[in-house]
A and B are shown apart, each in its own frame.
Chain A
Amino acid sequence: MTTLSEKTKSTATDRTPSAPPVLAVSDVHISDRVTDREIVHGVTFDLTPGTSVGIVGESGSGKTLTCRAALGILPPHFEVSDGSIEIGGTDIKTLTPQQWTALRGATISAVFQDPASYLNPSIRVGPQIAEVIHIKKGLNRRQARHRAVELLQATQLREPELVYSQYTHELSGGMLQRVLIAAAIAADPQVLIADEATTALDVTVQAEILDLFADLRERTGLALVVVSHDLAVVAQMCDKVLVMRQGSVVEHGPTHTVLNAPQHEYTRLLIAEHEQYGLEKFRTPQEAS
């Protein structure tokens, strides 16, 4: 408990960036074709296996658009107008729809804020996960079912068999989000994008899910993109952080550097808010002593 800042430093610097990036975002600009307005003005980051990048910013800062671009699911009439995105060394511009389908879930996957809108309300939740496993991993129906229950268990759902056979309306938001996470990791992706995935959850449930991500990262080498309006969530999870504002990256670097020596006024504001109205003011002296 006493060497927290040292720990932060060592995890951030020990990672050897020797492995090729599973996701490489280079100077990506995103524009609205209809209004001809540029919304995102150049985002760059690399993600190697087992590492994590955090993107922090308020709503409208372009963080979600950047994620959607990496998943090839930009809203209608938005396009990557400059720069490039590579997944596992392949430029996504060259991907056919079939190649995209093969890639999503199996290589790159995502969890967004509102879990209910990604699940079919008229089908039990378990089979929706089993379907992913059946198609992406080629397991037969029975094996897929078995694996789906295992995944539900891995997300700390306490009665995975029961949850498997329930409908979305029978589950709480926290439970649904865990179901969605189980579906997102069902095909063993290399990259998981968590876009405000825990924002709507109670803090103890949020911690449970963030802990699960951290476990997966250590165990399977999953690479994470954590998008949040909350700098603390990103600080907990990520080696590197990008701070976005109005479509621009105003600050980026290793998390401990950004936290200890913020350069941009906006980053300093985010940190000050936490120090004034957060647990920091109580926790820091205790940890120092």
Chain B
Amino acid sequence: MTAQLPAPSVAGTEEPPSAVLEVTDLEVHYGLRRRRRQALHGVSLSVAPGETVGVIGETGSGKSTFARAVLGLVRASAGRIVIGGHDVSAYGNRQWRGLRRRGVVQYVFQDPLRSLDPDLTIGESLAEPLLVHGVPRDEAAERARAFLPRVRLSDELLDRLPGELSGGQRQRVAVARALVTEPRLVILDEPVSALDSANRVQVLEILRELRATGVALVFISHDLGSVAGIADRIAVLHQGELVEVGPARDVITRPQHLYTRLLVSSAPTLRTASADREERKALRALLHA
């Protein structure tokens, strides 16, 4: 089902042999009748095993809707979602809950308090997904403990509650919880956006190291810098449409779509360039025309 789908408009993408996530012509609407508004317009994206795909978008681009749709937290109005070879497009709430519970698709959100149970200790939070997988209690506790160094946390934290940790530590626990079962696919929605720069770099480094486990990451962010630091490929969402997707280097050095060009040109870098200002003005004029 994944084999050689033609990808005409998108340069530099070859369909991987077997995708862990395959989204085809995804549409999501919010609201009813006259208030009905389309959040995603026919988005197609496929993620290969072990690959990190960055999804970049600004306010209103539909990036969080995309994350919610592939986690089954919002229902698609059209299109197909295939996770690990299973078509889950028609799944109901209960089936989606089963998928998430079994850790077929894991997730990390911007606010770790949303992915961690405030009443469970760190040790319990990390062991829980393993218990769901049928790992015996003692082994689960041991694997949870053993995982902590991989997110650069000391096992002293095992008995603490999420509320007793710093924001950076909490997010690292959330990453550990998502990865402790060695899933094939993790969706990360703005995982480093609430962190200061030292913690941001640390979490990005941890994610980079964890990619060695063969997990595929979908890293959703408004920050091109964070995405560029970690993604193999970058997909650009603009007003609910996927306007460009390609290898990270190509998207950043040779952006094709007007919006991507504006986005890349707008991202502040350490090299000053007043020439960019004129380029941006021209791009804005074209984009708004």
A residues at B contact (CB < 8 Å): 1, 4-5, 7-8, 11, 58-59, 156, 158, 172, 174, 202-208, 210-211, 214, 229-233, 235-236, 255, 259, 270-271, 273-284, 286-287
* Number of residues from B at the complex interface, CB < 8 A: 38
Given contacts A202-B222, A203-B222, A204-B263, contact A280 B270 (CB under 8 A): yes
Stretch at the interface among B26-34, B64-72, B248-256: B248-256
Q: List 27 A-B contacts (CB under 8 A).
A: A1-B275, A4-B273, A5-B271, A7-B275, A174-B59, A202-B58, A203-B58, A203-B223, A203-B224, A204-B262, A206-B268, A207-B265, A207-B267, A207-B280, A208-B280, A214-B274, A235-B272, A236-B268, A236-B269, A270-B197, A271-B270, A274-B269, A277-B200, A277-B230, A278-B270, A279-B269, A282-B253
- By beta carbon, the residue of chain A nearest B229 is A277
Instruction: Note all chain B residues with C-beta closer than 8 A to A158.
Output: 288
Instruction: Note all chain B residues with C-beta closer than 8 A to A11.
Output: 272, 274
B266 at the A interface (CB under 8 A): yes
Instruction: Note all chain B residues with C-beta closer than 8 A to A210.
Output: 268
How far is A211 from B278 in the complex, measured between Cα atoms in Å? 9
Q: A236-B269, A277-B229, A282-B252 are in contact. List 7 more A-B contacts (CB 8 A).
A: A1-B275, A205-B58, A208-B284, A211-B281, A275-B270, A281-B228, A283-B253
Cross-chain contact of B280 among A1, A211, A271, A273 (Cβ < 8 A): A211
Given contacts A280-B271, A282-B248, contact A229 B197 (CB under 8 A): yes
- Dominant secondary structure at the B interface: helix
B residues at A contact (CB < 8 Å): 58-59, 196-197, 200-201, 204, 222-226, 228-230, 248-249, 252-253, 262-275, 277, 280-281, 284, 288
- By beta carbon, the residue of chain B nearest A277 is B229
Instruction: Note all chain A residues with C-beta closer than 8 A to B196.
Output: 58-59
- By beta carbon, the residue of chain B nearest A214 is B277
Cross-chain contact of B277 among A211, A275, A282 (Cβ < 8 A): A211
Given contacts A202-B58, A211-B277, A277-B226, contact A283 B268 (CB under 8 A): no
Q: Is the CB of B271 within 8 A of A283?
A: yes
Q: Is the CB of B228 within 8 A of A278?
A: yes
A182 to chain B, nearest CB (A): 18
Instruction: Note all chain B residues with C-beta closer than 8 A to A5.
Output: 271
How far is A1 from B279 in the complex, measured between Cα atoms in Å? 11
B228 to chain A, nearest CB (A): 5
Q: Is the CB of A279 within 8 A of B197?
A: no
B3 to chain A, nearest CB (A): 31
Instruction: Note all chain B residues with C-beta closer than 8 A to A277.
Output: 200-201, 204, 225-226, 228-230
Cβ-closest 3 pairs across A and B: A277-B229, A207-B266, A232-B268
